[in-house]
Structures are given as structure tokens and as C-alpha cells.
A and B are shown apart, each in its own frame.
Chain A
Amino acid sequence: MTAIGKVVATELKPATPHQFHFWTATDTSVGIGAIVKVAEGGTGGTGDGGRVVYGVVTEGFAYSDLATPLHDVVGAEGDPTRADEAPTARQQIRYWTAAVLRQTPEEPLQPVPLGQVYVADDADVAQALRMDTFLFSATPTAIPVGLYTSAGRDSPVYLDADFLLGPEAAHLNISGVSGLATKTSAVEFLLASIFAHFPAHKGRVAAVCFNVKGPDLCFLDQPGDLSDEDRRRYERLEVPSEPFQRVRLYAPLKADGVNLNTLRTHPDLVGDVEPLTWGLQEVVDYAEVLLNRDDIDAKADAFIDFLRDRVLGRTFDDGFGTTHRVQTFADLDRFFRAVFDGLEITAGGRSDTWRTHHIATMRKVRNRLLNISTRCKGLVTDDGPSSDLPWNGFEDRTVYVIDIANVDPLGQDLVFARVVSRLREQLERRELGVDAVIVFVDELNKYAPGDGPETYVKKMLLDISERGRYLGLVLFGAEQFRSQVHRRVVGNAGTQVFGRMDMDELATPGYQVLTPATKSKLATLPIGELMIRHPHFTQPIFVRFPKPPVLRGRDGVERFPPAADVPFEDAVVRQLVRLDRRVRPNQVKDLIADREQDDVRRALAAVRRTRPDDVLAYFRKVLGARVEPEALLREHHAVPPLNPISDEPY
């Protein structure tokens, strides 16, 4: 091994146990982020009999023997065009500062010896990053995260699964500017790497990804274009360069209740998308999500608890002569109207409380609950049953994508809260089907901001961050501005990843530990390069990762253009055919002709939920017989506005 530099120390810039300085030739492969080795004694960098120190270059300087810039001006006689005419080049230096990654022996901890400096090879990189402990153990837990490519090297860098997915530490946070930081790509690659390398002794693993932007995560099962260089990197990292083998996509329905609210509606692909629809029972448990900060008070909580415990799904007498059995939003609306009418008519408007609950509190809760069925129509059905994730049957190494990109923000919160809560419940009971679940949430700036109201979603993210690792519930969060995400959410992420960063963001206090050179590198980081902080790494490390082996969202939309919404009848046919290819479209169209769309939707939902062997027969059965129009005097189930009976603001 050939020395590429020499450690130098002066009284003003001494070598310490954590930092040292060295010089190299002007023409050198060393740069910011390069890992180097200092060997004391021995030959060829072996360090035989002496101390070996590994460091990462954090700062670089170049200067010449020019005493003052004025001398250069004088030498060129003030003419910049003559500045390069000097026949002799001034003596220059390339002077580097490196932060210590590891010393061997580790005790006694001493200043870095003034030895020769070598570029680290693969084995040195493993030593320097303390990867040897989990890479070469009896039960390896190494997950490739990318290639260390500084100084002309090409060494795999691994994360420790025990510190990435628990139980020692967990969670990953990735920051960077939109478009250039490749946050989504990095997570996609890392998921592929985890699925390929998650150790068998740690059990089964799955991922739940919330697609909150356009078609970002809609084509994870489709192959993308990879360059030869990307394939070589996959080979080097021993990760298959193939799209995810098992992907389950979920998307809510549109307001028509039959067309899917997703950009993956191309005829060749839409069959793989499962509808995601929830009814009252699924929503009311997360009513707190629907209430903003001003709404959260003991009275509203108490009334929601009352509804949940005494009303929903039970036979309930309202005290005004009506018995209710509330199972749908429509039932709930009828219940509220009966109570309000009772207070106004039966009690003559003299009482403003019912069962100790003030009418204003009831109106507030009623508005919040019933609004969701309007604002998130398609996700939440007025009176239909639900279509949900397989809470008892998550499959190993499967990605569950929930596309909520086009859902109302309130609905996004609801989906997020409910999915994560259910994951947590099932993991606690060990009934999910897998031992660990990675939850990927983009736009943490929005869901867990450092300031702003204490929303249910934020509390939930904090809860995952702080307690998820014990359960196997792991948060992979991404955001543009890390400084604006709640400190406890990013602080609890054992692994921190940084793509290209905005200079303003880098000027915030959270980045003070980085040198100006590292910040400059972060601000100009090319696509596909990341800076990693991991519990085993004492300093941030730069790695390159290959392009994900999946079709990028925008490419997917170009290759598989979303289909236009189909008419109601065709949408019903499509859903039934997806469940049973024997179903004939004409038979379905004959069945639903002249039928109420709500009835058809209910029947369709029942088929989705039951998944019978004979889909058409079951659909026919739940749809029921045709009823003569004059007998079909249905009550309108929409939620009409209430007449205000007081000055209450809700």
C-alpha cells in the first residue's frame, strides 16, 4: 500500500484523539468524505506494532507560499491575463483535516500519531465504520446502504439491522431538497436492500408506504431502466436489481364509489389496486383525528366516548321515543337529528343538555363526524361496509402501498392514524403476520412539524419514534427541512440520511456539527449520493446508491397513462371481473340496470369483503330482487345542514 499523505501537527493545529491534519500531493484522489488510515510503525500501512487510526476527511485547504494577494498582482503587473504566464508554479499544499472514526487499540485513547496516511481499502472501511462487529458475526445483521466511492474506492457500506429496525435503535430519517435529494429513490433502494438482507433470525418484515405525492410509489412492482453502472452497483451490494416481487396497492374510491382515486388506473395495472373504504365503525375510533386543537376538550371527548360505548352498534333509546341502532353514517345522522328534534320539540327548546352533554358539544361532534363522509367520500362510505388492509395476514417482504395522494388532508390524517394504530395494535398482539413493519412517511414537515398544533398524527408519529422499536414498528420518514420537523421525531431516528440540502437549511443550528466543507458538499451533492449517520459510525459517511430497480412515478404515468374514469356500470364490471374472471360484463350490466347506485355499491362492497367463490351469484344475492319504483321511497341519506338553534359557533 502506498502512502498518499503524512500527518502533520503544529502547536496551533495539533493532532488530537478525535482530529488530525495531513498533507497530500497536489494531484490526489482524496476529497471531502474520503476515509483514510494513519499507520504508526510497520511498512505499507500495516501499522505493525503501532497505533492505527481511521479518519474521514472533513475539511480541505489549499494554499501557496504567496505572502499576500498583492504580490500576485505585482507579479502580473496588474494584468489578470498575465497571471498564468509565470513559468514556475508556486509551491502549493493540499492540507486536509480528518475526524477520527476509530483507533486501534481503542485504549488508551491517544492523539493521532504523526504517521503516514493511506487510502482505506474495503477491509479498512469495514474497520473504520465498526461494521466488522455486525458484518462478520455469527448472526450477521448487515444491510447494504450504498457504496463508499471516495478516493477512487468502491466499498460497500452496511447498516446494522439491529440499529435500523430495532430493537437496539430504530427508524430512519432522510432530508433533502425536492427533486435532487432522491429521498424516495433512496428509501426504495433501501427497502429492496432490507428485503434482500434482513436476517432470517430476525423474522419477517414488511413495509407500509403512504403515497402522498402524485404517482411516486404507484409502480414499485414495475421494472425501471437501469444503467450498467447501476447494475454493477447492485451486484457489488448483492441486492437484486429487480422490482419488488410482492406489492399490494390500496387506494380509496372516488366520490362515485366505484372508480379508484389513484393514478394507477391504466387497464393493465388497475386490477392490482385494492379499494380502501371505511365505514363509521372504522372512523369513529379515530374521531380524535378529525378534531382540531380547539375542539379537543373533555366535553367532546366524553361525548365521543359516550357514542362509542353506548350508541354505536347497539340498540339505543334516545329518551324521546325513538330507538336507534347506529351502524352507518346515515344511521348516525338520523340519531343526531332525532336528539336535536327531541330537544327542540319535545323539551320545547328549554333544555340545552341531553344526558349531561351540552347541545353545542353534540353539534360540534356531529359536524366533525359527518363532515368526513362528505369530504372523504370514496374513502369513507355513508352507509357501506369497509374494505381494508389484511390486518391479520401481512406477508413477509411485501410492500403495502396506500395511495392517498388525492385524498383530502383530513382524510390523509385519518388514513395515517388508523393504519399506524392498527399496525401497532396488531404488532403488540403479534397478530400482524410479520415481526417488523417499516412505515414510510414522506413530507414529515407536514405531518410532524416542529411547531404548530398538537395533532393526533403528530402524537402518533412521536409515539412510533419513541416506542416503536420495541414493537418492530419502524418509521422511515422523509422531509425537505429537517429543522422544521419535531425534534423528537428526528432525534429518535437512529439512522439519519441527507441528500442534497438547501444552504438556508444547513445554516440552522442542527447542522453546526458539520464543517463548512461538509456543508458545501451537502449543498452540491449529486443525485444518487447521500450522507449517512448511523449509530456505529462516529462521523457522517458519504455513499452512493444505485437507482431503484422500480419504475419511477412520473415514468410510470408516461408508460401506463391513467385511464379516464369509466361509467358506473363499467366500473362495477371491472371490479367484479378483477375478483372473478368468469364474470361476464353483460350479465353484470343487466343486473344493475335501473338499480339504485347506493344499492349496487353496497352489494359490491359486500362482494369485496366476502370474496366468494362465485362472485356473480353472490353479487346477485346481496343486490336482492328488483323492487318496483313506486315502492322505492327511500329516505335521502345525505347530510343536510342543521338549522342553528343558538349562537354556538359550530
Chain B
Amino acid sequence: MTWWRALVDAGAVPGRGSTRDEVEAGARADLVEENELQTHPIPEPRIPDPVSFLNGIERWSVVAYDGVVQVVNAYVAAAVRRRDATGGLHTTFERSRGFAIAPLDRMTPMVRQALEQSVADVESVPSELVEQPARYLEMIEATVRRARARMERELAEEALDDLAADEWLVIDGLLSRSPDVARHPRALGVIKSHGAQFLEGRGLERALTLPAGYRTSVFAVRGGHTRTEVYSWYLRLWPWEGNDLLYGLLRIEARAHPDTVARASALSAWLWTERAPLATPATRWDRLLYPLHHVEEYLKARAPRDLQQRASRMSRLPRLAS
């Protein structure tokens, strides 16, 4: 018998592995439903029809060196796919951008000229970090991520303008990227990463040990770069017992409006049904809704071949014939 068995016998909950999300800055949350964070079972679901789902991808790779200057080929794409009555998803909006990233002012004139002549879309970055490759690449990654976020935001705004009367838009990630999106009555943000904590004390404990099929009370947060206030709550899709505290845990964002509080249980019930089909083989399938996974797979399939897989994940051995 393992030693931690004694802990379980003493009342601890068994666990396995752990999920680590990147730590993000969090703000204090203000409860807007009840005085203390409570847990609520979700009711019988009612799935709205139609629903659109928005997701995006980013890819980048160093493709050339001008001295120590790393020249990057980047690609971002986002798409909105609408679910029809048969459950099939069809693309309604799609956007992509392939571009180069380089500190133009640090490049040799001939190489810079060649770059500018061969690539229509070049994003210049500051040259201070060129001599520090690791930090330089972190900056590149942040640049690409910003480009993706911008594209998703623009696409979300476009999609919301076109949204049918009863249609909902579910966005992978923060709703509060754009004030327009954050204020829309039928837009939801589904957040899988929990690097930012908004709760503390007993409320946090209740949120992190939320049983499957339950939601927390609604609280107000100021999220994203726009600091637009949104309402948020946690929802557990799968039992965490036997896994880890974040297993199957989603944070939902919706507009800051009393209606959101009134609808929180119904919306949770709907999102609960989106657990199936499982978004496998994605590693975070416990928190990834299949339609959002589907949009991502769609975008991956359409991405340029040379950027379909992160260079860092590829073997550097020469490719052999099978």
C-alpha cells in the first residue's frame, strides 16, 4: 500500500498528476450573485440553435539568419463555424495572415531589401533583444500571439454583426478582448487556462473543488487588455476526483448584465452538454469543447504545410523514407 493511501483513508481526495497553467495577473472578483461564492447544480439543458464557434491558431518558425538576427515566418488564422440542425459545422467567417517578423533596422541592407521585396507583409520588431536569442523568441511568440488575438477579436466583431436573432457565439478564450464582444448579449468566452485567479479563501476552495455538473456563483471580473468588465463563473465538466483540481474546469465569461446572472445556470447546462463528443486526441480534452477543437483542426488543415507543426516538436534527424 502506498503511503498516500493513508491520507485518502483519513479523508483526503485521491489525485493523479497535475495541470499547470501559466500564471497570469488576476484581479479581485466581486460577487454579483449571492454574498458568498456558492455552488449550484445545473438544470436540464436546452441547447440554443444555431450556435457559432470561434477559434484561432498561430504558427511561427525561424526561417533565416542574417548574422544573429533571426527572421521569422509567421502564420495566424481564425475561423467561425456555425453548427447546423444536423450538428455539422460550416465555416461562416475565416481569416488568415502569413507574415514575416524581423528587426528591420538590424538587418543588412541586401537581406532587408530581399525580405521586403519577397514578403508583402513584414512586421518589424525592436532590435534590442537580438543578441539574446531566448528572450528574442519570447518576444516573437508574444508578437504572433497578439496578431492572433487581434485577428480573433476582429473576426468576433464581424461574426457578432452577422449573428442571427437567437444565435450565440462561443469564443475560445477571453471574451473581454473587445468591448463590443464583451457587451454582446449572446457571446460567451470559454477559458480553459486558470493562470489568473480571481477568488480567494473559502470561495476559491469551493471553486477548485467544484463537483462535476455544478457551477459557481457569478462574479464580475475585469479581464483582457481592454479591462472591460464581464461576468464570469466556473463550471466543472468532468469529476476532478482522481485527477487534479483543474481537471474539467472551465471559466465562462459573458456580458456584465443582470440577465447573465439569471441565465448562468441554463448556459452552464448547455455548455455541459458540449462535453460530448470528446475533443480527443487533444491533451486538454477535459476542458476543450469539441466544436472549438473542430474549428482548430479545420484551421490546422488549412495552414501552410511548412508551418503545420512547430519546429521544436519535430525531429531534427534527416527524414527517411518509410
Question: A294 to chain B: which residues have CB within 8 Å?
Answer: none
Inter-chain contact B277/A72, CB cutoff 8 Å? yes
Chain B residues near A (Cβ < 8 Å): 47, 51, 83, 86-89, 273-278, 280-281, 290-291, 294, 297, 322
Please give me the 3 A-B residue pairs with the lowest Cβ-Cβ distance, nearest first. A89-B87, A75-B276, A86-B276
Interface of B is mostly: loop
Taken together as a complex, chains A and B put the C-alpha atoms of A593 and B291 apart, in Å, by 98
Question: A72 to chain B: which residues have CB within 8 Å?
Answer: 277-278
Inter-chain contact A89/B86, CB cutoff 8 Å? yes
Question: B297 to chain A: which residues have CB within 8 Å?
Answer: 65, 91
Taken together as a complex, chains A and B put the C-alpha atoms of A639 and B273 apart, in Å, by 91
In-complex Cβ contact of A88 among B280, B281, B290, B322 (8 A): B290
Taking A86-B87, A88-B290, A88-B294 as contacts, is the C-beta distance between A71 and B273 under 8 angstroms?
Answer: no
A429 within 8 A of B: no
In-complex Cβ contact of B277 among A11, A68, A75 (8 A): A75
Taken together as a complex, chains A and B put the C-alpha atoms of A86 and B83 apart, in Å, by 12
A615 to chain B, nearest CB (A): 78
B314 to chain A, nearest CB (A): 17
Question: A90 to chain B: which residues have CB within 8 Å?
Answer: 277, 290
In-complex Cβ contact of A76 among B88, B276, B281 (8 A): B276
Taken together as a complex, chains A and B put the C-alpha atoms of A75 and B281 apart, in Å, by 13
Inter-chain contact B47/A71, CB cutoff 8 Å? no
Given contacts A87-B51, A87-B274, 4 further A-B pairs with CB under 8 A are A71-B278, A87-B83, A91-B294, A91-B297
Inter-chain contact A11/B322, CB cutoff 8 Å? yes
A62 within 8 A of B: no
Q: Which of B87, B278, B297 has the most CB of A within 10 A?
A: B278
A85 within 8 A of B: yes
Inter-chain contact B278/A88, CB cutoff 8 Å? no
A633 within 8 A of B: no
Tell me the number of A-to-B contacts counted with CB atoms below 8 Å: 48
Inter-chain contact B280/A67, CB cutoff 8 Å? yes
Question: B274 to chain A: which residues have CB within 8 Å?
Answer: 87-88
User: Could you show 5 A-B contacts with beta carbons less than 8 Å apart?
Assistant: A66-B277, A67-B280, A75-B276, A86-B276, A87-B87
Taking A65-B297, A67-B281, A91-B297 as contacts, is the C-beta distance between A85 and B276 under 8 angstroms?
Answer: yes
Q: What sequence of 0s and 1s flags, for each residue 573-588 of chain A, a beta carbon within 8 Å of any chain B beta carbon?
A: 0000000000000000
Inter-chain contact B275/A88, CB cutoff 8 Å? no
Inter-chain contact A71/B322, CB cutoff 8 Å? no
Q: What sequence of 0s and 1s flags, for each residue 58-75 of chain A, a beta carbon within 8 Å of any chain B beta carbon?
A: 000000011110011011
Question: A86 to chain B: which residues have CB within 8 Å?
Answer: 87, 273, 276-277, 290
Question: A85 to chain B: which residues have CB within 8 Å?
Answer: 273, 276
Taken together as a complex, chains A and B put the C-alpha atoms of A468 and B277 apart, in Å, by 64
Taken together as a complex, chains A and B put the C-alpha atoms of A91 and B277 apart, in Å, by 10
Question: A82 to chain B: which residues have CB within 8 Å?
Answer: 276
Taken together as a complex, chains A and B put the C-alpha atoms of A65 and B273 apart, in Å, by 19
Inter-chain contact B47/A87, CB cutoff 8 Å? yes
Taken together as a complex, chains A and B put the C-alpha atoms of A90 and B276 apart, in Å, by 9
Nearest A residue to B290, CB-CB: A88
Question: B294 to chain A: which residues have CB within 8 Å?
Answer: 88, 91
Nearest A residue to B53, CB-CB: A88
Inter-chain contact A87/B273, CB cutoff 8 Å? yes
Taken together as a complex, chains A and B put the C-alpha atoms of A71 and B89 apart, in Å, by 20
Taken together as a complex, chains A and B put the C-alpha atoms of A11 and B319 apart, in Å, by 14
Taken together as a complex, chains A and B put the C-alpha atoms of A65 and B277 apart, in Å, by 10
Question: A66 to chain B: which residues have CB within 8 Å?
Answer: 277, 280
B167 to chain A, nearest CB (A): 14
Q: Which of B89, B280, B294 has the most CB of A within 10 A?
A: B280
Q: Which of B47, B51, B86, B290 has the most CB of A within 10 A?
A: B290
